Structure 1
């Protein structure tokens, strides 16, 4: 089965609902996120993540388009690597992706009418006469999260990353290492090489955690000391300012010299979305795919709704005074409408 990314992460859901860490909860959240993300795709009638692929079309076909135009419909393009028609490669300069004024995504491919390849042609039969190899999807927007730590061979199932990446990346995210795309499926604790520089007590108000070197950590990164997880909200020199007992863990006292861990080892699937697994050097940049903000928000909201509905046996109620009634989803419905209006692929009449 093809592994697909989610448009929000396990960590996003836990932060919103304060889910206690457990393998069962993780599976439940991941399932809800996949359902929610594919639901957003279905609502908008497009896939928002990029995928490298070669796809084919018949020619002539039922589109009734001009002989130089091919409508892509749901097969929207971000960029093109190669186009063939009737078995012949079309020169790149003769390929126009449209609408060029505001794409990607591009919903049609046109041939330059002034070129030698001024129209699509069939092969021995009309079937699959046109093949377009390229990056399909809505957009390929990325941010640079950080870098890898250590080398990575083409068969490795985990990758270790730096503090900046650990703070930015979550389970379900789509990453790019060089030309390879990978999807994060889990996280494991890794030694940071740092220890506590002083004792800290078991009081929630004690939020200053002294370490040997504060530059080895990042804001929004989760750390593990003994059995307690802590969320870093700020860093002042060699002191981490944290939220205690994070992720459902238990508040506890810790002594000087205790090792500090962080979930910097990422379990990944390799060679995803049409790419090929490859070796990567130490310090390879980690690029994080960023779906549109509204898509992220709706995927998160849908996943939270699924989880809460499951907990309530799919009959959530809202209590008011001495009465209770089934909870309405007006805010979620409004968000769905907003996302579709802004990002949904609208129907097109096949005229030309």
Structure 2
């Protein structure tokens, strides 16, 4: 399930005077955040959340294999018979390149290059479905810092059962590492151990969540387990937040492409990114290979 790259709370924080601390527009703002995020995906040809998955590629008979944005490698396998059987590659068989200028060992990886000097292969096998890559997929310009410690932990007395739909915490309204409150908000992506959760609602010190997200597995979690919050790359979060704010402000001002009904907490708008936001994101856009 895709995520929003900003939350209603972050939108209200950007223009606090427009809301007066109220929650009347929260559902509409969440919808704005969701739609802005999906338009960002479409414009950039990328996803900005981490997904654990297996992906298959066609070998081209050369040393280079272009792949989707890869944040972490679990395993790479190669096949001579188009996927009927697979052979696991050693980490010495290939080199991973990525980052803004396609550097060695920089994430997100975009290219796997056969290391003929240190490995056992001279090229990727030619043909469809001859390479299999298992890992964590997505784009972030600083993945090592992307999962931020929430400063909070699981407080369910007996820990969390697998497939639990709520999490008891210490202090929903406490500050996060950036000094912002509340630390937990509807729409956030959380991680406990290796399982990802999407926050559906954050009321007092109980979070309503959907677990086993993005290829992760439902599991039990002990009391005291640290809760981490996914922070999309700053430019992505900023773009989504600014776009959501602009849609809201246009609704207030009666612009022709947007309308707002305060009594119902509704906003309608033309689903298109503003040109300057699209320009901001151009260097993040993924091209073809």
User: Where do 1:184-263 residues align within 5 Å?
Assistant: 184-188=199-203, 263=204
Q: What are the residue-to-residue correspondences of 1:3-152 with 2, within 5 Å?
A: 3-15=1-13, 16=15, 17-18=18-19, 20-22=22-24, 25-60=25-60, 67-72=62-67, 75-86=68-79, 87-98=86-97, 99-101=102-104, 103-114=106-117, 115-121=119-125, 126-139=127-140, 140=143, 141-146=146-151, 147-150=153-156, 151-152=159-160
User: Over aligned residue pairs, what C-alpha RMSD do you find?
Assistant: 2.4
CA–CA separation in structure 1 for the residues paired with 2:109 and 2:136: 11
Structure number, greater radius of gyration: 1
Q: Any idea what SS the aligned residue of 1:299 has? A: helix
How many Å apart are 1:26 and its aligned residue? 3.4
Q: CA deviation at 1:85?
A: 1.1
Range with greater deviation from structure 2 (98-107 or 284-293): 98-107
Partner of residue 203, structure 1? none
1:92 positional shift: 2.1
CA distance in 1, matches of 2:93, 2:30: 44
Deviation at 1:117, TM superposition (A): 2.4
How many residues align structurally?
246
Q: CA deviation at 1:295?
A: 1.2
Aligned equivalents of 1:92, 1:52: Cα separation in 2:
19
Residue from 202, 210, 214 that aligns with 1:269: 210
Unaligned runs of 5+ in 2: 80-85, 260-272
Counterparts in 2 of 1:334-349, with a 5 A limit? 334-341=276-283, 343-345=284-286, 347-348=287-288
Alignment of 1:157 onto 2:155: no
Work out whether residues 308 and 316 of structure 1, in 8 Å CA contact, stay in contact via their aligned partners in 2: no
What stretches of structure 1 of length at least 5 have no aligned partner?
Answer: 61-65, 189-262, 318-330
SS of 1:276 mapped into structure 2: coil
Q: Report what 1:288 is aligned to.
A: 229
User: Once the 2 structures are TM-superposed, how far is the Cα of residue 57 of structure 1 from its aligned partner?
Assistant: 1.2
Q: Deviations over 1:206-262 (max 9, x none)?
A: xxxxxxxxxxxxxxxxxxxxxxxxxxxxxxxxxxxxxxxxxxxxxxxxxxxxxxxxx
What's the CA shift for 1:185? 1.5
Whether the 8 Å CA contact 1:301–1:332 is kept in 2: the answer is no
For each residue in 1:327-352, what CA deviation from the matched residue of structure 2 results, as whole angstroms up to 9, or x when unmatched? xxxx95334312323x333x35x5xx
Say whether the 8 Å CA contact 2:150–2:228 is kept in structure 1: yes
Q: Is the 8 A contact 1:175 1:183 kept in 2?
A: yes
Equivalent position to 2:185, from 167, 170, 176: 170
Deviation at 1:316, TM superposition (A): 5.8
Secondary structure of 1:82's match? strand
What is the TM-score of this pair, normalised by structure 2? 0.77
Are the counterparts in 2 of residues 79 and 134 from structure 1 also a CA contact under 8 Å?
yes
Cα distance in 1, alignment partners of residues 161 and 256 from structure 2: 45
- Is residue 299 from structure 1 mapped to residue 240 from structure 2 by the alignment? yes
Contact preservation (8 Å) 1:4, 1:183: no
TM-score, structure 1 normalization: 0.64
